[in-house]
Amino acid sequence: MRMVGLGAMIGLAAGMLMVAGVFDDVRRGTTRGKLGRNQRVGLRTKRTMASERAWQAGHRAAAPWLWWALRGAVTCWLR
């Protein structure tokens, strides 16, 4: 078995925290109605991009999944 360097471990931990932060920003922004339809962040599918109403409905439906993804990323970082 190969040992993983300290730098790699720190990089992985930092990456997981960044992923967790993105999940949380998207979840908060869409559930509060502050993150409107855009081409950069969020669930960009053909259906969610069809209208602002579809964008909000899709993100409201995905909010619990984003919460669990956030928790998973933080849990991986803590282990």
From the list 66, 70, 47, the residue with the least C-alpha distance to 57 is: 47
Tell me the domain boundaries of the chain: 42-79
The reported pLDDT for the residue numbered 42 is: 83
pLDDT digits (tens), the chain, 79 positions: 466 687 887 887 788 788 878 878 888 888 787 888 888 888 889 999 999 999 889 988 988 887 887 787 777 766 6
Longest dimension (CA), the chain: 52
Residue with tokens 């993105």: 22
The reported pLDDT for the residue numbered 4 is: 67
From the list 1, 52, 7, 12, the residue with the least C-alpha distance to 42 is: 52
